[in-house]
Amino acid sequence: MSSKVPVSVLIPAKNEEANLPACLDSLQRADEIFIVDSQSTDRSAEIAKNYGANLVQFHFNGRWPKKKNWSLDNLPFRNEWVLIVDCDERIPNELWDEIAQVIKQEEFTGYYLNRRVFFLGKWIRYGGKYPDWNLRLFKHKLGRYENLHTEDVPNTGDNEVHEHVVMQGKVGYLKQDMLHEDFRDIYHWLERHNRYSNWEARVYYNLITGEDQSDTIGANLFGEAVQRKRFLKKVWVRLPFKPLLRFILFYIIRLGFLDGKAGYIYGRLLSQYEYQIGVKLYELSNCGGQLNTANTSPSLPPSLAQEIEKSTT
């Protein structure tokens, strides 16, 4: 066993007994591990205890911050560097070796990690899924997740979904990949993306209505990879036929067909996901965010009700 790397790992979790063992196995080189749980009802707490991880319970109050930012603000990290890892992700030894080296340098305050996404037993290498850069390793005092003003959206959970980290200082890119392998079934993939589509619909809505973006990474065609993606999303939200376009983009233009059957299924599911987002965006814009409600419901959160009222006047 290699010596411990002076990094604190943060794992957001809820009912992840299927994924936690493999995740924690890959994190044994970390100096300390915090699992921030949302009152799991499965064996997640027992597994965390067996691996010697620090288990902290998070109780979401429906307001900002959500789980990751709350953890960055409140956990007693004993290391300067923190590594954010989801339960369905793994950190190979080669990546640990690279992390051990880069945290000794002073040039950067954070690093992007590239993910290999596995689906139905196959690495989804094409379709735009690789490279998949995520800023996960950084000096915890200098980085916080952006606020996209989605915390009042119902049924999205208490954890940041696709928010990115806003850093003070210069960021770099690591060479070795992290692995994304969910050991659960398609049911859970669909369930998770049903929640994600609520979040995406609100993000689309905010972009269309000109929501303040000052607390975000910003959209910049000539910026970093995630800023370029955000710029393209501002264009994307206004296009027609997005479900069909997303399949064509993934499967044909970005060569998703080279990933075989898994690539085809993944492309179809992404197209379905885009359709869900569109329907929920329509519901949000025209029905006050509730099915068959022609006018803004008084039961809506005040901030959402005010925004819908502004957009319709």
CB atoms within 10 A of CB 244: 12
Whole-structure pTM value = 0.87
pLDDT at 66: 93
- The verdict on whether omega for the bond into residue 65 sits within 30 degrees of 0, i.e. cis, is yes
223 pLDDT band, cuts 50/70/90, is: confident
Residue 255 clears pLDDT 80, i.e. is over it: yes
CA Rg value for the chain = 20
pLDDT at 225: 75
Mean pLDDT of all residues in 62-87: 96
Closest CA to 117 of 128, 127, 130: 130
Mean pLDDT of all residues in 188-210: 92
Lowest mean pLDDT among 118-127, 156-165, 243-252, 267-276: 156-165
Phi-psi region of 292 (alpha: psi -120 to 50; beta: other; left: phi over 0): left
> Which position has the token pair 């696709």?
162
Angle, helix 225-236 to helix 186-208, in steps of 10 degrees:
80
Closest CA to 126 of 236, 259, 245, 30: 259
pLDDT at 151: 82
Mean pLDDT of all residues in 217-242: 85
The mean predicted confidence, pLDDT, of the chain is 91
Phi-psi region of 294 (alpha: psi -120 to 50; beta: other; left: phi over 0): alpha
CA 11/CA 53 separation, integer angstroms: 10
Which has the higher per-residue pLDDT, 262 or 220?
262
